[in-house]
Amino acid sequence: MIRRKLSIILENKPGALVRVVGLFHQRGYNIESLHVDPVIELKKYKYVEDNLNIKIAEGEVSHLKITTTVNDNLLRQILRQINKLIDVLMAEEIK
């Protein structure tokens, strides 16, 4: 098991954070740390707009950082499942 840091860009809507945390809970994964900020400085997230061909407005999305300890297979599974959530725009590992 290796400590991993995940970066998740999700819509800033009621219940979005609960769905992500609920996914971890349902599958028995532990969240060691969690940090959420609204996206205010849009220049840093230009890559999200380019990848998804969307336009992000200030305060419309949040950046969620999660630290967890999982192996490679579980990490791939977690990222696939998080990316399927309706309010999630993008989830990836921070290296």
Q: Identify the pLDDT of residue 81.
A: 92
Total structural domains in the chain? Answer: 1
Alpha-carbon gap, residue 95 to 91, rounded angstroms: 13
- Reported as half-sphere exposure (CB side, CA atoms, 13 A), residue 42 has a value of 10
* DSSP-derived pairing of the beta strands 33-38 and 61-70: antiparallel
Region 85-92 average pLDDT: 92
Residue 91 CB contacts under 8 Å (≥ 6 apart), including other chains: 6, 7, 8, 9, 79, 82, 83
Q: Identify the pLDDT of residue 88.
A: 93
Q: Give residue-wise pLDDT tens across range 8-60.
A: 999 998 999 999 999 989 888 889 999 999 988 877 778 777 888 888 877 88
CATH code, domain carrying 66: 3.30.70.260
What is this structure's pTM?
0.85
